[in-house]
Amino acid sequence: MAVSKGKKGIFFTFAAVALSLVIIFSFRVYTDYGLKDQMDPIESRVTTMNSFITSMEKDIENVIFIVGFRSLLSIEDYMMDHDTFLNIGNYPSLDVAFEGSFLNGAIPRGATEDKMPLMDNNTFLNWTQRMEEEANKTDITLDFTINDVTITHSEPWQVDVSVDLTISVKDRKKTASWSIDREFTKQINITGFVDPLYLVNNDGKVNNTIRKTIVPDFNDEDDLDTHLINSYYIEHSDAPSYLMRFENDLGSSSYGIESLVNSEEIEDAGLVPKIRSAVDFVYYGAQVVQICEVEDPSYNWFYLDFNSPYDHLDFYNAECD
């Protein structure tokens, strides 16, 4: 049977449309696969960079703790070597000394600086350089900008070491890049460090390690004796903080801690004990206070202050002999 010209036209039209759809579909499939082939390496690269940065950010706080801990020990050694407090004459403030040790492993003093052996190849800048080298192995350009380094108190028994950083991350193939602005903070417990007041005032012969008192209160008759003989530390808002002691700042602080000086140890070391209140910042200070010999525990060298400006006799639940 013959097919009419009209029907043939419709047939060819449908055939042309179908062929066009097949071509378009095939092109789209090819394009999608081509784009996917391009996107897979990009996605993999971004994932690799993100993983590197996430791991690095976790490491930063641990590095801050280690370098900060070593820096405090280095400052103790520095003060012992020079037999001086910080922020006196051409000796730097605590902030300057800490930043110098933390970043460069050296404490500046006037036009010179003292290298800290404990910081050799262990500074924060040493770590950033190692990170940049590791990033370079994976074709990542990593740059650190250190905006600020600080050490402060957030509570009496802890110091906060904070590093304000700008971190620039770029892929050498220009796949991705981003910048991070963030302050990283790590706390360091001060227990186990040497009290700067003892370190300098006793010519390095009698030091006192900061240990939190094991005495819950001073109601038991042996509590004060235990606290005194061991020169334990206790919180007190009239006392200076741990950080203030580096500069011989004997003012009061909400982060204040204090110990009682064991004068027997002073005398045993060949030094002349003072007839002053045993409270460390008063004993080593020049405050005018009223004192009396304590009745219990009874030591002929144990005095405490009372009335204005402090009343440690009442604080330690003691009485005059």
Phi, psi of 309 (to 5 degrees): -85, -10
Q: What pLDDT sits at residue 10?
A: 54
Kind and range of the H or E run holding 58? helix 5-82
Higher pLDDT pick, 101 / 35? 101
Name the residue with tokens 């440690």: 312
Burial of 107 (0-12, 13-18, 19+ CB in 10 A): buried
Among 6-20, 104-118, 131-145, 155-169, the minimum mean pLDDT is found in 6-20
Q: What are the structure tokens assigned to 321, written together? A: 């002999």
Packing angle, helices 94-104 and 124-137, rounded to 10: 30
Confidence grade of residue 81 (pLDDT, cut at 50, 70, 90): very high
The CA distance from 266 to 285, in Å, is 16
The pLDDT tens digits for 19-46 are 454 444 444 544 444 444 444 556 666 7
Q: Is the confidence at residue 223, as pLDDT, over 50?
A: yes
Q: Is the confidence at residue 172, as pLDDT, over 90?
A: no
The CA distance from 43 to 176, in Å, is 10
Higher pLDDT pick, 55 / 41? 55
Claim: this prediction has a pTM higher than 0.85: no
CB-CB contact of 170 with 218 (8 Å): no
**Mean pLDDT value across the chain:** 88
- The alpha carbon of residue 104 and the mean position of all alpha carbons in its chain are separated, in whole angstroms, by 16
Confidence grade of residue 178 (pLDDT, cut at 50, 70, 90): confident
Mean pLDDT of 77-95: 96
The CA distance from 92 to 21, in Å, is 80
Among 24-28, 76-80, 81-85, 95-99, the minimum mean pLDDT is found in 24-28
CB-CB contact of 63 with 124 (8 Å): yes
Q: What pLDDT sits at residue 27?
A: 44
Closest CA to 241 of 150, 152, 149: 152
Closest CA to 149 of 129, 131, 119, 124: 124
The pLDDT tens digits for 123-145 are 999 999 999 998 888 888 899 99
Q: Is the confidence at residue 1, as pLDDT, over 60?
A: no
Mean pLDDT of 278-290: 97
Higher pLDDT pick, 15 / 161? 161
CB-CB contact of 21 with 14 (8 Å): no
Q: What pLDDT sits at residue 113?
A: 94
Give me the percent of the chain exceeding a pLDDT of 70: 85
